[in-house]
Amino acid sequence: MSELQELNGENGESGRAGLLQRFNHYLGDPGYLDTHVRRLQSVTSADLQRAVAAYLRPRARATVITRPRATGEP
């Protein structure tokens, strides 16, 4: 097994090989990895604070209530 395969997650969706394939599929450039890493590394704590303030507002939420099925219910 190669290093790329070992770094893959379940069903090949995560890890290095999956990421390279997504860059290839959506951008036509599996070499976009370096740009992607630089963009991630450029994020600052101030950037995160701005995003939290803009998108994670107390009233901007959804509440999901689940309940078990009754016996015999499809």
pLDDT of residue 44: 97
CA dihedral over 60, 45, 17, 21, signed as positive or negative = positive
Q: Domain total for the chain?
A: 1
Could you tell me if residue 72 is inside a domain? no
Could you tell me if residue 69 is inside a domain? no
pTM over 0.75: no
**Pick the residue with more confidence: 3 or 71?**
71
At 51-65, the pLDDT tens digits run: 999 988 888 778 899
Number of residues that make up the chain:
74
pLDDT for 20 beyond 80:
yes
pLDDT of residue 49: 96
Confidence of residue 46 (pLDDT cuts 50, 70, 90): very high
Could you tell me if residue 15 is inside a domain? yes
Could you tell me if residue 66 is inside a domain? no
* Residue 28 structural domain: 3-55
Question: CA of 41: how far to CAs of 1, 17, 31, 47, 67, in Å?
Answer: 30, 20, 17, 12, 42
Could you tell me if residue 8 is inside a domain? yes
